[in-house]
Amino acid sequence: MLTKHHYYVIAFSALYLILGGIFFARDFNLEFIIYVGVIIAIFAGVFASLRHTQFPVWMLWLLSVWGLMHVLGGAVDTRDGVLFAYRIYPFLDSGGDFYILKYDQVVHGYLYGLVALMSYHLLRVPFGVSKNTVLVALAAALISLGVSGLNEIMEFLIAVNLENNGVGGYENAMLDLCFNWGGAVLAVVIYAFLENRSCDCKSETLLALRE
Q: Residues 105, 62: one domain? A: no
Average pLDDT over residues 167-175: 78
- Global confidence as pTM: 0.88
Q: 42-69: per-residue pLDDT in tens? A: 999 999 999 999 999 999 999 999 999 9
pLDDT value at 70 more than 90: yes
Q: Residues 89, 140: one domain? A: yes
Q: 98-137: per-residue pLDDT in tens? A: 899 999 999 999 999 999 999 999 999 999 887 888 899 9
Q: What is the pLDDT of residue 157?
A: 81
Query: From CA 63, how far away is CA 39, in angstroms rounded?
Result: 10
Q: Residues 165, 105: one domain? A: yes
* pLDDT above 70 coverage of the chain, percent: 91
Average pLDDT over residues 174-201: 87
Domain region containing 26: 1-75
Q: Residues 141, 39: one domain? A: no
* CA of residue 127 relative to chain centroid, distance: 22
Residue ending a domain, choose from 46, 75, 104:
75
Burial letters 128-156, b for 16+ CB under 10 A, else e: eeeeebeebbebbbebbbebbeebbeebe
Q: Residues 22, 93: one domain? A: no
Domain count, the chain: 2
Q: Residues 14, 43: one domain? A: yes
Q: Residues 122, 209: one domain? A: yes
Q: Residues 101, 193: one domain? A: yes
Q: What is the pLDDT of residue 207?
A: 44
Q: What is the pLDDT of residue 203?
A: 47
Q: 12-48: per-residue pLDDT in tens? A: 999 999 999 999 999 888 888 988 999 999 999 999 9
Q: Residues 83, 67: one domain? A: no
Residue ending a domain, choose from 56, 75, 94:
75
pLDDT value at 165 more than 70: no
Average pLDDT over residues 170-192: 91
End-to-end, the C-alpha distance of the chain in Å comes to: 40
Q: Residues 114, 69: one domain? A: no
Q: What is the pLDDT of residue 208?
A: 44
Residue ending a domain, choose from 24, 57, 75:
75
Query: From CA 5, how far away is CA 11, in angstroms rounded?
Result: 10
Q: Residues 99, 155: one domain? A: yes
Q: Residues 92, 185: one domain? A: yes
